[in-house]
Chains A and B, each alone.
Chain A
Amino acid sequence: MNRVWSQRTAFALLGLSALAVFAALAVVLGFVTVRGAPAISWEFLSAFPRRGMTEGGIFPALLGTFYLVLGTVIVSLPLGVGAAIYLAEYAEQRSWIRVVRIGVNNLAAVPSIVFGLFGLAFFVKALGLGVSILSGALTLGLMVMPLLIRSTEEALNAVPKEFREGALALGATRWQAVRSVVLPVAVPGILTGAILAVGRAAGETAPIMFTAAAFYTPRLPRSPLDEVMALPYHLYVMATESTAFWRTRHLQFGTALVLLGLVLILYLWAAVWRARIRRRKRW
Chain B
Amino acid sequence: MVSQFQPAGPAMEMGTAFSVQHLSFFYGQERVLTDVSLDIPQRRITSIVGPSGCGKSTFLRVLNRLYEVVPSARAVGQVWFEGRDILARGTDVVDLRRRVGMVFQKPNPFPKSVYENVAYAPRIHGVRKRRVLYDIVARALGQAALWEEVHTRLGKSAFDLSGGQQQRLCIARALAMEPKVILMDEPTSALDPTATAKIEDLITVLKDTYTVVIVTHNMQQAARVSDLAAVFLTGGEMVEYDETNRIFENPNDKRVEDYVTGKFG
A residues in contact (CB < 8 Å) with B: 92-93, 160-173, 176, 180-181, 184-185, 282-283
Contact = CB atoms under 8 A, between A and B. Distances in A.
Contact of A170 (B69, B106, B121): B121
Given A163-B110, A169-B64, A171-B95, 9 more contacts: A162-B104, A163-B111, A166-B110, A169-B66, A169-B97, A170-B173, A171-B177, A173-B94, A282-B159
14 contacts: A164-B69, A166-B173, A167-B110, A169-B64, A169-B97, A169-B102, A169-B104, A170-B120, A170-B121, A170-B173, A171-B98, A171-B121, A171-B125, A181-B110
B213 to A, nearest CB: 13
A185 B111 CA distance: 8
A283 B111 contact: yes
A65 to B, nearest CB: 36
B66 to A, nearest CB: 6
Contacts of B104: 162, 165-166, 169
B55 interface: no
Interface in B53-97: 64, 66, 69, 71, 94-97
Given A93-B71, A163-B110, A283-B159, A172 B124 contact: yes
Contacts of A176: 124
A185 B110 CA distance: 9
B159 A170 contact: no
A162 B101 CA distance: 15
B174 interface: yes
B108 interface: yes
A165 B69 contact: yes
Contacts of A170: 97-98, 101, 120-121, 124, 173-174, 177
Contacts, number: 64
A170 B125 CA distance: 9
Contacts of B108: 160, 162-163, 165-166
A95 to B, nearest CB: 14
Contacts of A92: 71
A140 to B, nearest CB: 34
B136 to A, nearest CB: 13
A249 to B, nearest CB: 53
Contacts of B159: 282-283
A92 B68 CA distance: 12
B140 to A, nearest CB: 12
- The A interface, classified by DSSP as helix, strand, loop or mixed, is helix
Give the 3 A-B residue pairs with the shortest CB-CB distance, closest first: A171-B98, A162-B108, A169-B102
Contacts of A167: 110, 120
B124 A171 contact: yes
B106 A171 contact: no
Contact of A169 (B71, B101, B111): B101
B139 to A, nearest CB: 16
A176 B64 CA distance: 18
Contacts of A160: 108
B171 interface: no
A176 B109 CA distance: 16
B141 to A, nearest CB: 16
- Pick the most buried of B95, B97, B124, B174: most chain A CB atoms within 10 A of its CB: B124
B111 A166 contact: no
Contacts of B110: 163, 166-167, 181
A176 B124 CA distance: 7
- Pick the most buried of A160, A166, A176: most chain B CB atoms within 10 A of its CB: A166
B124 A168 contact: no
Nearest to A172: B124
A230 to B, nearest CB: 40
Contacts of A163: 108, 110-111
Interface string B17-43: 000000000000000000000000000
A72 B109 CA distance: 37
Contacts of B125: 171
A168 B173 CA distance: 13
B69 A171 contact: no
A201 B170 CA distance: 44
Nearest to B173: A170
Interface string B210-237: 0000000000000000000000000000
Contacts of A93: 71
